[in-house]
A and B are shown apart, each in its own frame.
Chain A
């Protein structure tokens, strides 16, 4: 019963997105340009046709495309809205509704993610094919990679919600979130696979949640192996569990704060 509710909210949100025609077009144009630029840089680096840290040029280009796709699909503009909602005490309104507030946010974010992933994904795949040619994929590999991507998205949503909740304590959490997003480019493995970093740096970064949103899903795609699959999945589940606990705690503290201050 309640799942249906969430789906209908998600659907409305998806319909809204049709009116953001220009926004999406621009985003896609920029994305294509960036991927293109990055591909050129990597082509220059791989000019001798070598393999670097386990990656060939074809693989690195597909890797970049995947990370860009993931980041573009999970980038969430609603954090300001959530932050404002929470701060203005609207939270107390939703508390009265049978909908679980967090659940509602998940539904909205998920619909956004699917919509973006599919629309941008088509373009990115074509682009990658044009730039690098085909990459060997197995059917089971694809299915399992999709699972990792989805879990990565869920993990990312948890992180976004935590930032949004911070709005209860900070005047402006959107700028911190922006800083976080930019940092993910580096530590999440978006620009270069974590394998390219010095070993000691890599060994720290792969335990961070950010790598489970970007690096592991993209790597699973280009370097699929069952061990990689399991490592990624387990890491994601652990982090998701940790964040759910943190979120519940913050949410409870937040509710107390909102009700004390009269919302």
Chain B
């Protein structure tokens, strides 16, 4: 996955963001005190970070909650102003030229939706055409193109409230792409989707990125999203960039999966399997961490199933904090 030599569309240099928050002591007295003599604490949300993205890059931003991810993205979209440092997105200073920039970027927040709930998506699309001042002919052509690409023809006239989450997300994508944005900010776009819908959505993201060279900034807590889509990863924690580079390089760190087995009867002794670590053991359950690359998940599950009476199984990614910790340990 070589990066084409393209121009830089996002440049971030020595970016910092500091907040002043009020600190308040507990209880009534604390509340009263804070009204008369407020104490402030400075929080550094983003601490002198620098990076740049080229046209057509698909970059994953990962970091635990509160790491400074969303703060950085808000600064890139012009919602928040930096304390110090320079940001340039598509040649615009987001702070001063927010509206001009807004015409050229798109955003998707997995947890908030832009489409009007009670109406069919086509109505929302028309509203967006008016918001972004898209020419009528252009709009028709573009809509056609996107509807075909995202395969939403059958849902165009169904009220959004009647669509499944996966169908809705595809429509959200169409809405965000109507105005041909050059940069797309995706915040948890696959959250809540089932595995098939996730895979489908990832395909669409890839297609758009390839077809239109849209620069995409993706944040996700789903490691598979990142693995599948982003050749480049930026890890942020405590406001600093811990890693900015190829996903391949840290892929083996991302290759851990956690399995929780729920037993009918607490086992006395757990089987010892190589590359499988027991993280937690409680009365009726055990949490294992296994290295996907070195061990086949299926085998681990089969071993446990054959030895014990398993009532339930949970499989998930290790939390980001762990990944980052492990990464740091290197």
Contact = CB atoms under 8 A, between A and B. Distances in A.
Report if A and B touch in the complex (beta carbons < 8 A): yes
Interface of A: 15, 18-19, 21
A19 B35 CA distance: 10
B35 A15 contact: no
Interface string B11-36: 00000000000000000100110010
Contacts of A15: 28
B35 A21 contact: yes
6 contacts: A15-B28, A18-B28, A18-B31, A18-B32, A19-B31, A21-B35
A21 B35 CA distance: 10
A15 B32 CA distance: 12
A19 B32 CA distance: 9
Contacts of A21: 35
A84 to B, nearest CB: 16
Contacts, number: 6
Interface of B: 28, 31-32, 35
A148 B10 CA distance: 70
Nearest to A21: B35
B33 to A, nearest CB: 12
Contacts of B32: 18
Contacts of A19: 31
A110 B35 CA distance: 27
A15 B31 CA distance: 10
B277 to A, nearest CB: 36
Contacts of B35: 21
B26 to A, nearest CB: 11
Nearest to B34: A19
A27 B181 CA distance: 48
Contacts of B28: 15, 18
Contacts of A18: 28, 31-32
Nearest to B31: A18
Contacts of B31: 18-19
A20 B31 CA distance: 11
Nearest to A19: B31
B170 to A, nearest CB: 26
A69 B228 CA distance: 64
A18 B28 CA distance: 8
A18 B32 CA distance: 9
Nearest to B28: A18
A21 B36 CA distance: 13
CB-CB nearest 4 A-B residue pairs: A18-B31, A18-B28, A19-B31, A15-B28
A196 B136 CA distance: 64
Nearest to A15: B28
B142 to A, nearest CB: 35
B83 to A, nearest CB: 29
B161 to A, nearest CB: 12
A21 B28 CA distance: 12
B119 to A, nearest CB: 16
A208 B28 CA distance: 42
A99 B310 CA distance: 35
Nearest to B35: A21
A187 B151 CA distance: 58
A18 B35 CA distance: 11
Nearest to B32: A18
B40 to A, nearest CB: 18
A21 B31 CA distance: 10
A185 to B, nearest CB: 34
A193 B305 CA distance: 78
A21 B262 CA distance: 50
A19 B22 CA distance: 14
A91 B117 CA distance: 24
A170 to B, nearest CB: 16
